[in-house]
A and B are shown apart, each in its own frame.
Chain A
Amino acid sequence: MNENKVIEVSKLTKKFGNFTAVDHISFDVRKGEIFGFLGANGAGKTTAMQMLCGISKPTSGKGTVAGFDILKENEKIKHNIGYMSQKFSLYEDLKVWENIRLFGGIYGMKENEINEKTDELLYRLKFEKERDTMVKSLPLGWKQKLAFSVAIFHTPQIVFLDEPTGGVDPAMRRQFWEMIYEASDQGITVFVTTHYMDEAEYCNRVSIMVDGRIDALDTPINLKEMYLAQSMDEVFRKLARKATRVEN
C-alpha cells in the first residue's frame, strides 16, 4: 500500500440484477484528508460506502481500505474503521459509559485501555456528569458529539460519517465540524456524506456521484472554478441535473 493512501479503489462496481448501482468508480483518499462524498438520493453513495466498509461485496473491481483488500479482508477492514450515521450510532437504552464500553469492546480494545480513555474522553467533552446518563435523555447535539467520539474511540485509520449532521441545530452543526477538523489533525481520515452544501466547502476534496459514477472529484475551489460556480451548491446542481437514471 502507498503509505499516504488510506483508500484506494479501482473500477469498483456493484450490480443488483440488471441494475448497476455503482459503476466503475476509481479514486483514492489520502491520510488525514477530509473527503466529502456527495451525490443525489439514489446516485449510489450508500452502496459505494457499504463496499468500502466491508459489508457489501463488489461485483467487480478492486481496492484497499486501511491497507486491507476489499475483496478478501473485509473483516480486517471493519476493525480498522469507525462508522457513524445519523440513523444509527449509539444505543439509546444504555448509559453513556456503557456505550463507550460496548463499542470499545467490539473493536477489540483492552479493558484497562477502555477505562483510561473513557475518563479522558468524558473529561475532554466536559461530559463527566453524564457518565451514568441514559443516552436517550441526552440532547441531540450531545448525542452527535458522543457518537462521533465513540466512532473514533479505537483510533481507526478512517472514519465513515453518513449524514452525521442532519437535523442538528446550526451552532451544534458547526461545533461538530470543528471535531471533524480535530480528528483530521490527529491523522484520522474522514470520509463524509452530507446534504448541506456549505459543509462540502469544509472538505479538503469532494467527489460527486451521478448515476453510479463519480462525475467530479477535486478541491471545492477547483470544482467551483471548473463549473463556473459561486458555491458548491451551484456545482452540485449543475452536476446532479445531468442524472438520467430514474430513482428506483
Chain B
Amino acid sequence: MQQKLKMILVKNLHKTYGKVTALNNLSFTVNDGEIFGVIGPDGSGKTSLFRILASVLLPNSGSAEMNGLSVSKDFKKIRNIIGYMPGRFSLYQDLSVEENLKFFATIFSTTIEENYHLIKDIYQQIEPFKKRRAGALSGGMKQKLALSCALIHKPEVLILDEPTTGVDPVSRKEFWDMLKRLKSEGITILVSTAYMDEAGLCDRIALMREGNFIATDTPQNIINSYNETLLAVQTENMSASLSDLRNHPKVKTCFAFGNQHHITVHADLSISDLQHYLNEKGYSTVEIKAIEPTVEDCFMALTNNP
C-alpha cells in the first residue's frame, strides 16, 4: 500500500514581528483528504500560519509545501490549488454577490457552472440575494459567500481562518456539516478555531499556543494522553464552592465548566474525602464523579504546566 500522501508539509516555520515571535519553528504535516484543525486562542499564531500557507505572507525561515509546491517559490501555482478564506471578510463590498463569485471564477479561468456542484448547498442559501452588494450582507451570508468564492476553482486544499468566530451554535453546526461534505469530495481542509468544542469534528488537531503546537494528534489520542485525575463537582452553591475547592490542599486546579466544576486533584485524594470536606464546609447537596476530559480540559492542563 502506498503511504498516505502528505498534502501539507511544514518544516521549521518561523515568523517574527519585531520582538514578537508569532511562529516558533513549527513543523507538521497534513494528510490528503484530512480535516486538520488548528485550535488556540486569539494571538496564538493561527492567522500568521494560515497566511504563510496561503502564500500571502513570507516566513523568516523554514519551509512549507502544498502538494509538493513551495509556498514561497511556487506561489503562482499554489494559488491555483488552494482556496483561502481569511478571518476578515475580504471580498469586494461594492460588487454584488453574483459579481463577486463570477470575478473569482474568472480569475481562475473557470465558470460558476463548471464547479457549481461544489458550492450548490452553500450558494443556494444566498442565491435569493444575488443582486445585493456584498457589503450589505449579514455576517452569516458574507461567510457563505466567502466560502463559495474560495471553492469556485475546485481547490485541492481549503484554508479557513476562524470561519465560525462569532457564529451561533446552530449555524456553527451547519457549517461543520458543510465541511464534512467537502471532505467527502476529496478536499483537504485546514481550519482554525478558538472554540474547543469543535475539535471533535476534525480528523486531527493541533493545540496552538504562543506560536507553538503544544499537542498534535487525533482528538481521541489527545484525550487519552491526558494524565491528570479529573473530577466533576456539583454543589448547591456553585460560585462559593469554586473558592472552597481551590482552598483544598489536594486540589490542583478548579475551573467552572457550565453547570459543573472540573477539578484536577492529587491522585491520593478520594472522592469520599472530598465529599466529606465539602459537607464540612456546609454544602448539603454534593455530587462528585470521575470524568473523561474534554479537549478544553486537555488544553488547560497543557497550558497550566510551565
Pair B255/A168 contact, Cβ less than 8 Å: no
Pair B169/A170 contact, Cβ less than 8 Å: no
- Alpha-carbon separation in the docked complex, A177 to B242 (Å): 12
Pair B299/A170 contact, Cβ less than 8 Å: yes
Q: Does A146 contact B (CB under 8 A)?
A: no
Q: Which of B56-64, B104-112, B134-142, B281-289 contacts A (4 or more CB under 8 A)?
A: B134-142
Option from B138, B162, B171 in Cβ contact (under 8 Å) with A248: B138
When C-beta atoms are compared, the residue in chain A nearest to B19 turns out to be: A137
Provide the residues of chain A in CB contact with B299, threshold 8 Å. 170
When C-beta atoms are compared, the residue in chain B nearest to A178 turns out to be: B242
Pair B168/A39 contact, Cβ less than 8 Å: yes
Option from B138, B166, B258, B303 in Cβ contact (under 8 Å) with A195: B166
Option from A168, A233, A246 in Cβ contact (under 8 Å) with B42: A168
When C-beta atoms are compared, the residue in chain B nearest to A238 turns out to be: B170
Q: Does B270 contact A (CB under 8 A)?
A: no
Pair B43/A198 contact, Cβ less than 8 Å: no
- Alpha-carbon separation in the docked complex, A167 to B209 (Å): 12
- Alpha-carbon separation in the docked complex, A42 to B125 (Å): 15
- Alpha-carbon separation in the docked complex, A166 to B304 (Å): 20
Q: Does B256 contact A (CB under 8 A)?
A: yes
Q: Does B99 contact A (CB under 8 A)?
A: no
- A129-148 contact mask (Cβ, 8 Å, vs B): 1 or 0: 00000000001110000000
When C-beta atoms are compared, the residue in chain A nearest to B172 turns out to be: A195
Pair A170/B170 contact, Cβ less than 8 Å: no
- Alpha-carbon separation in the docked complex, A163 to B242 (Å): 23
Pair B256/A177 contact, Cβ less than 8 Å: yes
Chain A residues 192-233 with CB under 8 Å of chain B are 195-198, 201-202, 220, 231-233
Total interface residues in chain B, CB < 8 Å: 35
Pair A201/B171 contact, Cβ less than 8 Å: no
When C-beta atoms are compared, the residue in chain B nearest to A181 turns out to be: B239
Pair A169/B259 contact, Cβ less than 8 Å: no
Pair A236/B41 contact, Cβ less than 8 Å: no
Provide the residues of chain A in CB contact with B140, threshold 8 Å. 41-42, 247
From residue B124, how far is it (CB to closest CB) to chain A in Å?
12
Provide the residues of chain B in CB contact with A141, threshold 8 Å. 41
Q: Does A102 contact B (CB under 8 A)?
A: no
Number of A-B residue pairs at CB separation under 8 A: 87
Pair A140/B168 contact, Cβ less than 8 Å: no
Q: Does B201 contact A (CB under 8 A)?
A: no
Q: Does B271 contact A (CB under 8 A)?
A: no
Q: Does B277 contact A (CB under 8 A)?
A: no
Pair B194/A167 contact, Cβ less than 8 Å: yes
- Alpha-carbon separation in the docked complex, A166 to B255 (Å): 18
From residue A93, how far is it (CB to closest CB) to chain B in Å?
16
- Alpha-carbon separation in the docked complex, A172 to B170 (Å): 25
Pair A40/B258 contact, Cβ less than 8 Å: no
Q: Does B203 contact A (CB under 8 A)?
A: no
From residue B125, how far is it (CB to closest CB) to chain A in Å?
8
Pair A202/B255 contact, Cβ less than 8 Å: no
Q: Does B167 contact A (CB under 8 A)?
A: yes
Provide the residues of chain B in CB contact with A72, threshold 8 Å. none
Q: Does A241 contact B (CB under 8 A)?
A: yes
- Alpha-carbon separation in the docked complex, A172 to B209 (Å): 13
Q: Does A174 contact B (CB under 8 A)?
A: yes
Provide the residues of chain A in CB contact with B196, threshold 8 Å. 170
- Alpha-carbon separation in the docked complex, A219 to B173 (Å): 25
Pair A202/B256 contact, Cβ less than 8 Å: yes
Provide the residues of chain B in CB contact with A168, threshold 8 Å. 41-42, 194
Option from A86, A171, A195, A233 in Cβ contact (under 8 Å) with B167: A195
Pair B170/A167 contact, Cβ less than 8 Å: no
Provide the residues of chain A in CB contact with B296, threshold 8 Å. 170
Pair B194/A166 contact, Cβ less than 8 Å: yes
Pair A41/B167 contact, Cβ less than 8 Å: yes
When C-beta atoms are compared, the residue in chain B nearest to A86 turns out to be: B166
Q: Does A237 contact B (CB under 8 A)?
A: yes
From residue A124, how far is it (CB to closest CB) to chain B in Å?
17
- List 30 contacting pairs A-B, 8 Å CB cutoff, sorted by A: A40-B168, A40-B170, A40-B171, A41-B171, A140-B41, A141-B41, A163-B166, A167-B41, A167-B194, A168-B194, A169-B41, A169-B209, A170-B299, A171-B300, A178-B242, A195-B166, A195-B167, A195-B172, A198-B256, A198-B258, A201-B258, A231-B258, A231-B259, A236-B168, A236-B169, A236-B170, A237-B170, A241-B170, A247-B140, A248-B129
B residues apposed to A, CB below 8 Å: 41-43, 128-129, 138-141, 162, 165-173, 194-196, 209, 239, 242, 255-259, 296, 299-300, 303-304
A residues apposed to B, CB below 8 Å: 39-42, 86, 139-141, 163, 166-172, 174, 177-178, 181, 195-198, 201-202, 220, 231-233, 236-237, 240-241, 246-248
Sample of 11 more A-B contacts, CB < 8 Å, known A201-B258, A202-B258: A41-B139, A170-B41, A170-B255, A171-B300, A172-B41, A181-B239, A197-B258, A201-B259, A231-B258, A236-B168, A247-B138
